[in-house]
Structure 1
Amino acid sequence: MTFAIDHKSPIPLHIQTEELLRKIIKQPQYVKGKHLPNEIELAKKLNISRGTLRQAINKLVYEGLLVRKKGFGTKVNNVVSSKALSWLSFSQEMAVRGIPIKNFELSISWVKPEETVANFFEIRGNKKVLKLERLRGRPEGPFVYFVSIFHPRIGLTGEEDFSRPLYEILEKDYQVVADLSKEEISAKPADKFLADKLDLDLGSPVLIRKRFVFDQAERPIEYNLGFYRADSFVYTIESRREK
């Protein structure tokens, strides 16, 4: 791949550099773990200042696409990250980051909701709800186990093609738009069930993301639990101080 910056372009150099880096890190050799060229060497090759290059690299580090280690250099970050600025479905998150995803397990059942779920949905505990369980990850191995439970109001049958993005199914097939997400983050040691699912040692750290999803009328539609390998997921929060 040719490394080039157009110094006659009206686009700022750091923006051009950032976009070039985004293309570079998608190359197979970098995805597989090769380090980026030395900063001094790369800045010289692009005929830009090291400060301009570092500004672009810092942006990608912040986004979780690159990781920099003192004494080792900069490389593609193989740890999945999620930023709490706006929310996407898991499939959308991974697509944005260019991460290929494989479904290792998928199961559907009708169950009586636990008290927490029944209270969230404001339904009786004896009314069965659709429960979707999925084990997902990179082609080389799973890193998250999802449990999704849906409000019976939606009308899901269990016959849907859940290889499609979940919120696409809700919106296109049932005219239900997932509009608001409220989340809780916690952690716990892996019990035998999660250790087996996520290929972890018993007691290894697991990150838990609990997501309460509402439609445009702020009615509950999904109760979602995600259990992530702690060594494969980073959750980033961005906030702005009110003045």
Structure 2
Amino acid sequence: MDPTDALDLRVDRSSPVPLYFQLAQQLEAAIEHGALTPGSLLGNEIDLAARLGLSRPTVRQAIQSLVDKGLLVRRRGVGTQVVHSQVKRPLELSSLYDDLAAAGRRPSTNVLVNTVVDATVEVAAALGVPEGGDVHRLERLRLAHGEPVAYLCNHLPPGLLDLDTGQLRATGLYRLLRGAGITLHSARQSIGARAAAPAEAERLDEPEGAPLLTMRRTTYDDTGRAVEFGTHLYRPSRYSFEFQLLVRP
């Protein structure tokens, strides 16, 4: 059975919004709200076009727009399949692990590096430690439903807590910090974008040169001490940041 049969899909021919875009928006909403679940196979484009009174090229354009967003994938010999919806993360002091878990996205972690290194100028300035002094360096690949979402690089001051690789695989860094009695209070954060280098593209299952979201964050505890400096890369097809903007009175 085509899962779109259960959806109340409608297009308004009097609207200035293109028909393909109307259909794409409704399919995207169904994916985001769980009406079309990951792994679901969409039915034949011809059948969907006939049911909605649309042309096949219109339906194909709607589906292709969701393929381009990473919400659908075309698999040879299988058909068009729903993949995992994009994670929309609010801009607040929370961890990616907790956000994925709260969204029911089954987070998992590959720990790539867990070691002590010399602090670079940038890391030393962010953490308030001497340049060349010891800092703890973590590199992790965060996955949701087995798909890579983000590459996380974090530096922490020495002696802050015992960073066990097994615990880092099982949970998020902020949970470990809180478990060690550290109260996270605030952070300074910047967001940008850049092209993926070859090794980054391979880790994140993206083409070389693909656009990636970047985030740099320094997190402070309730005493004002810097407890973590992170430089993270995210797949924009799987991840976005949400802002709430207020008008100044």
Bucket of the pairwise TM-score, normalised by the shorter protein? 0.5 to 0.7
The aligned runs of 1:136-151 (5 Å cut-off) are 136-151=142-157
Choose which of 154, 164, 178 in structure 2 pairs with 1:171. Answer: 178
Shift of 1:105: 3.8
| Residue in 2 that maps onto 1:30 | 37
Contact 2:183–2:221 under 8 Å retained in 1 = yes
Following superposition of structure 1 onto structure 2, how do residues 80-91 of structure 1 map, counting pairs within 5 Å?
A: 80-84=87-91, 86-91=92-97
Whether the 8 Å contact between 1:102 and 1:136 is mirrored in structure 2 is: yes
Question: What letter corresponds to residue 168 of structure 1 in structure 2?
Answer: R
The alpha carbon displacement at 1:157 in A equals 5.2
- Report the counterpart of residue 243 of structure 2 in structure 1: 237
Deviations 1:2-35 (A, max 9, x none): xxxxxxxxxxxxxxxxxxx99x9456x5344579
Preserved contact between residue 110 and residue 141 of structure 2 (Cα < 8 Å): yes
Q: State the 1:110 CA deviation.
A: 0.7
Aligned to 2:206: 200
Per-residue displacement from partner, 1:105-133 (whole Å, max 9, x unpaired)? Answer: 44201111111110112211121111111
1:213 alignment partner, one of 215, 219, 235: 219
- Measure the CA separation in 2 of the matches of 1:105 and 1:160: 9
- Cα contact 1:136–1:145 (8 A) shared by 2: yes
3-state secondary structure, aligned to 1:104: strand
Q: Structure 1 pair 34/183, CA: closer, same or farther in 2 (3 Å)?
A: farther
Letter of the 2:132 counterpart: N
Unaligned runs of 5+ in 1: 1-20, 36-65, 67-74
SS of aligned partner of 2:150: strand
Q: Aligned in 2, Cα 1:106/1:194: closer, same or farther, shift over 3 Å?
A: same
Normalised to the residue count of structure 2, the TM-score between the two structures is 0.65
1:214 & 1:144 partners in 2: Cα distance? 22
Offset from partner CA, 1:150-191 (integer Å, 9 cap, x none): 02252435567212232221122x311112122100111111
Q: Distance in 1 between matches of 2:201 and 2:151?
A: 11
Identity of aligned pairs, percent?
20
How far, CA to CA, are the matches of 1:223 and 1:78 in structure 2?
Answer: 28
Measure how far apart 1:211 and its partner are: 1.1
Q: How far is the alpha carbon of 1:135 from its aligned partner?
A: 0.5
Does the Cα contact within 8 Å between 2:218 and 2:226 map onto a contact in 1?
yes
Aligned mate of 2:129, from 123, 130, 141: 123
What letter corresponds to residue 196 of structure 1 in structure 2? E
Instruction: Give the length in aligned residue pairs.
Output: 182
Question: Are residues 240 and 134 of structure 1, via their aligned partners in 2, closer, same or farther at CA, if it must alter by over 3 Å?
Answer: same
Which stretch of structure 1 is more off in the superposition, 207-216 or 106-115? Answer: 106-115
Q: 1:139 to 1:31 in 2, by over 3 A?
A: closer
Q: Contact between 1:184 and 1:209, CA under 8 Å: does it hold in 2?
A: yes
Q: Distance in 2 between matches of 1:188 and 1:97?
A: 27
